[in-house]
Chains A and B, each alone.
Chain A
Amino acid sequence: MAVQKDKAAIREMIARRAEQEIKSGYYVNLGIGMPTMVANYIQPDKEVVLQSENGLLGIGRSPYEHEVDPDLINAGKETVTASVGAAYCDSAESFAMIRGEHLDLAILGGMEVAENGDLANWMIPGKMIKGMGGAMDIVHGSKKVVIIMDHVNKHGDPKILKECKLPLTGKGVVDRIITDRAVMDVTDEGLKLVEIAEGWTVDEIKEQTEAELIISDELLKMPSSK
Chain B
Amino acid sequence: MKQIYSSFHEAVKDIKDHSTIMVGGFGLVGIPENLILALVESNVKHLTVISNNCGVDDWGLGLLLKNKQIDKMIGSYVGENKEFERQVLAGELEVELTPQGTLAEKIRAGGAGIPAFYTPAGVGTPIAEGKEVRTFNGKEYLLQEGLTADFSLVRAFRGDRHGNLVYNKTARNFNPMMAAAGAVTIAEVEELVEPGELEADAIHTPGIYVQGLIEGQQEKRIERYTVKAEA
Contact = CB atoms under 8 A, between A and B. Distances in A.
Contact of B228 (A62, A72, A96, A128): A62
Contacts of B95: 129
B125 to A, nearest CB: 5
Nearest to A136: B99
A167 B101 contact: no
Nearest to B204: A90
Contact of A68 (B103, B108, B171, B227): B227
B78 A131 contact: yes
B151 interface: no
A134 interface: yes
A64 B225 CA distance: 11
A136 B121 CA distance: 5
B30 A136 contact: no
Interface size class of A (residues with CB under 8 A): 35 or more
Nearest to A61: B228
B204 A53 contact: no
Contacts of A138: 101
A167 B174 contact: no
Nearest to B124: A171
Contact of A171 (B89, B107, B125, B168): B125
Interface string A65-103: 100111111001111101000001111101110110000
Interface string B197-230: 0000000100000000000000011111111101
B169 A94 contact: no
A27 B44 CA distance: 45
A52 interface: yes
Interface string A159-199: 00000000111111000000000000000000000000000
A139 to B, nearest CB: 8
Contacts of A171: 123-125
Contact of B171 (A52, A64, A71): A71
B124 A170 contact: yes
A57 B218 CA distance: 25
B224 A73 contact: yes
Nearest to B218: A70
Interface of B: 26-30, 52, 75-79, 85, 88-89, 95, 97, 99-105, 107-108, 119-127, 157, 167-177, 204, 220-228, 230
Given A53-B100, A91-B173, A171-B124, 14 more contacts: A64-B228, A71-B30, A71-B220, A88-B169, A89-B172, A90-B172, A91-B104, A95-B101, A99-B101, A99-B105, A129-B88, A137-B99, A138-B101, A140-B120
